[in-house]
């Protein structure tokens, strides 16, 4: 049996195929095209961390270039090489990890993207917890057992804690 392909590698490959046309796309459009063209659904086939990691890896390796916050396009020098950054002579470029001013700015931009992705994921979790709390059976509150009230209280505390985290990231 062959080696199983990781979620990150599968996403990077799919994103590279989607971006081959050279159009710039925002993260949400890329996710939508992953579902439509590649059959990969967020929350089922991959999560927010997988997506961020794949986009970040493609960006760090020079396959994608950042157009704006959360918006990317295929880097000019990768369009003809099938999604891999190459140096003159056709050799694959390696991420040098150097520290030029542009690289430092790019690292800060990537950090901002990660922060935004985390904020979005936390907001989705807050909405999910709120929805689930609203769906709980609500008989007359005075008849609820202390254990039931305790559990609902814990869920509300978790939601409030997540809301505080989102505010800290803003």
Residue with tokens 């090489």, as numbered in its chain:
81
Arithmetic mean of pLDDT, 122-146 = 76
pLDDT in tens, 28-76: 999 999 999 999 998 898 898 889 889 988 988 888 999 888 899 998 7
CATH number for 1-95 (one of 1.10.1370.10, 1.10.10.10, 1.20.1740.10, 3.30.379.10): it is 1.10.10.10
Residue 105 has pLDDT above 70, yes or no: no
* pTM (predicted TM-score): 0.47
Distance CA 61, CA 135 (A): 45
Q: Which residue has the higher pLDDT, 134 or 40?
A: 40
**14 contacts 31 by C-beta, under 8 angstroms:** no
The pLDDT of residue 155 is above 50: yes
Q: For all residues of the chain together, what is the average pLDDT?
A: 77
* pLDDT confidence of residue 39: 92
- pLDDT of 100 higher than 90: no
pLDDT of residue 25: 94
22 within 8 A of 73, measured Cβ to Cβ: yes
Q: Structural domain boundaries of the chain?
A: 1-95, 99-170
């Amino acid at each position: 049996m062959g080696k199983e392909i990781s979620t990150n590698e599968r996403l990077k490959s799919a994103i590279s195929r989607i971006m081959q046309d050279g159009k710039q796309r925002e993260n949400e459009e890329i996710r939508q095209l992953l579902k439509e063209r590649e059959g990969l659904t967020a929350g089922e086939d991959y999560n927010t961390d997988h997506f961020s990691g794949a986009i970040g890896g493609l960006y760090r390796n020079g396959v994608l270039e950042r157009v704006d916050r959360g918006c990317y396009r295929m880097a000019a020098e990768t369009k003809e090489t099938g999604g891999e950054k190459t140096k003159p002579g056709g050799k694959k470029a390696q991420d040098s990890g150097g520290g030029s001013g542009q690289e430092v700015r790019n690292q800060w931009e990537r950090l901002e993207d990660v922060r935004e992705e985390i904020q979005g994921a936390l907001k989705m979790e807050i909405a999910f917890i709120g929805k689930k709390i609203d769906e709980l059976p609500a008989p007359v509150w005075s008849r609820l057992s202390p254990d039931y009230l305790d559990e609902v209280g814990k869920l509300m505390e978790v939601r409030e804690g997540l809301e505080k985290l989102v505010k800290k990231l803003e």
